[in-house]
Structure 1
Amino acid sequence: MAELQFFTGTMDSGKSTLALQTNHNHAARGRSGRIFTTRDRAGEATLSSRLGLQHVAIEVDEGFDFWRYVVDSLTHGARIDYLICDEAQFYTRAQVEQLAKVVDELQIDVFAFGILTDFRSELFAGSQRLVELADRMNVLQVEALCWCGKRATHNARTENGQMVTEGEVIVVGDVEETGAPSPVVGYEVLCRQHHRRRMTAERARAISMVSEPLPFS
C-alpha cells in the first residue's frame, strides 16, 4: 500500500540529503519518481543539500496542483511510482491534501521533507497539515546542535546577528527597507533555552568578550 510519509527535523538535520538519497534508492530499483521543491537555497527548480549535492526539481508555487500534475502525466503515458517533496513546510494546506489524495486514489508513494516550526516556534501550515494527514511521521536521527552543544530544537532568524521574533514568515533574501541599509538576514538552530533567551552564537560571543568586574571596588 502506498503511504504519505513526512520526514522532519530542524535546519542542518539532513532533510534534503535524505530526500536525495531516498530518490537515489528508489530509482536504483527501477522505480520512476518526480522531485519537487520550493524556495531552495540553490535557486528555482533545484533540490540541494548543504553537503553540496543537487538535483533538478519541479518548482512548486502557491498555485501548483499536485493532483492535476500527476493525473495529466499519467494520462499522457508517463509512469510515476513516487514523489519526493522537499521544503514541504512551504506548501499550502490544499497542496498537502492533494498529496494525500495522490496516495489514496492513485497508490503513489509520497515522501515529504520539511521543518516543523518557523522562527517564531509556530507550526508552518504545510507541516501542520502533514502531521495531521501523514501515514507516518519520521523525526530525523541526525541531530543539529545549538552553539552550546545541546540538541537544537528551534529555528531562529537573525538580523545583523540579533535574533528576531517578528516579521514575514518566509524571508528568502535580505530584508530591504527604504532609506536604510539592508540587514543581513540569517538562520540559526538553537536549543529551547537559548531560543527563549534570544541567545544566538554571536550574542554569546559578544557577552563572553566583556570583561567581568573585579570582586572589589
Structure 2
Amino acid sequence: MPELVFFSGTMDCGKSTLALQIGHNRSARGLQGVIFTRDDRAGEGKLSSRLGLVTEAVEAAPEMDLYGYLVGRMSHGGRVDHVIVDEAQFLDPAQVDQLARIVDDLGLDVFAFGITTDFRTKLFPGSQRLIELADRIETLQVEAMCWCGARATHNARTVGGEMVVEGAQVVVGDVDRSPEEIGYEVLCRSHHRRRMTSALAHAAALSPDTLPVETD
C-alpha cells in the first residue's frame, strides 16, 4: 500500500542526503519520481545535500497545488511513480493535505523530509500537519552532535555567533555561514536552553563540565 512517510530530524542529520539516495535507488530500478522542495540552500528548484550533491527539483511555492501539479503532469503523459519532498517543514498545512491526497487518490508513495521544530522550539505548521497525517514517521538515525559532543536535539538561529530566539520563523540560512551572517547551529537541549553556542563556548574557553548553571 502506498504511504505518506515523514522523515524527521534536526539539521545536519542527513535528511537531504537520504532524499537523494531514495531518488537514486528508485531511478536505478526504472522508476520516475517528482521532487518538490522549498527554500533550499542551493537556490530555487534545487535539492542539495551538505555533502555537495545537488539535483533539480520543483519549487513548491506557497499556495501551489501539489496534487493539481501532479494530475496535470500525468494527464499530459508524464510518468510519476513516487514523490519526494524536501524541506517539508516549510509547506503550508493545505499542501500537506495535498500530499495525503496524492497517496490516497493517485496511489503514489510520498517521502517527506523536514525538521520538526524551529529555532524557538516551536513546531513548523507543515511538520505539525505531517505528524497529524503521516502513515509513518521515521526519525533519522544519523545523529547530529552539539558542540559539546552530546546528541543535538534543537535547532538554533545565530547572528554574529550569538543565539537569537525572536524573529520570523523562516529565514534561509545554513550551518556553514560565517559568524557575521544569520546562520544555524544544532545544540543539545541544555545548551539551547542556556543559549550557549559553539562560538560563545569557544570565546569563554569553557568545557562542557564548567559551563555556568542557571540559578533562580
Equivalent-residue separation in structure 2 for 1:200 and 1:153 (angstroms): 14
Tell me the residue number matched to 1:130: 130
Report the residue type matching 2:93 in the other structure: R
Give the count of matched residue pairs.
Answer: 202
Note the C-alpha offset of 1:63.
2.0
CA offsets 1:53-88 (integer angstroms, 9 cap, x no match): 000010111021111011111111111110010000
- Report the RMSD for the aligned CA atoms in angstroms: 1.4
Cα deviation for residue 35 of structure 1 reads 0.8
* Dislocated runs of 4+, deviation >6 Å: none
2: CA distance between counterparts of 1:130 and 1:173? 23
Identify the residue that residue 89 of structure 1 maps to in structure 2: 89
TM-score, length basis structure 1: 0.90
> Which deviates more, 136-145 or 183-192?
183-192
SS at match of 1:150: coil
Partner of residue 141, structure 1: 141
Amino acid at match of 2:155: N
Task: Structure 1: give runs of 5+ residues left out of the alignment.
Answer: 175-182, 210-217
**2:157 aligned residue:** 157
Instruction: Indicate the SS of the match to 1:84.
Output: strand
- 1:205 maps to amino acid: H
Letter of the structure 2 residue corresponding to residue 197 of structure 1: R
Report what 1:200 is aligned to: 197
Give the Cα separation in 1 of the matches to 2:167 and 2:78: 42
The residue number in structure 2 matching 1:191 is 188
C-alpha distance in structure 2 between counterparts of 1:2 and 1:26, whole Å? 15
Letter aligned with residue 83 of structure 2: L
| Alpha-carbon distance in 2 for matches of 1:151, 1:172 | 24
CA distance in 1, matches of 2:139, 2:128: 14
Deviations 1:123-171 (A, max 9, x none): 0000000011000100000000000000000000001111000000011
CA deviations 1:91-116 (Å, max 9, x no partner) are: 00000000000100110110000000
Determine what percentage of the aligned residue pairs are the same residue. 63
Partners of 1:55 and 1:173 in 2: CA distance: 19
Gaps (5+ residues) in structure 2?
175-179, 207-216
Listed one character per residue, the Cα deviations across residues 28-73 of structure 1 (whole Å, up to 9, x for unaligned) are 1111111111111011111000000000010111021111011111
Q: Secondary structure in 2 aligned to 1:19?
A: helix
Letter in 1 for 2:75: T
1:173: Cα distance to partner?
Answer: 5.5
Q: How does 1:59-70 map onto structure 2 within 5 Å?
A: 59-70=59-70
Q: Residue type matched to 2:201 in 1?
A: A
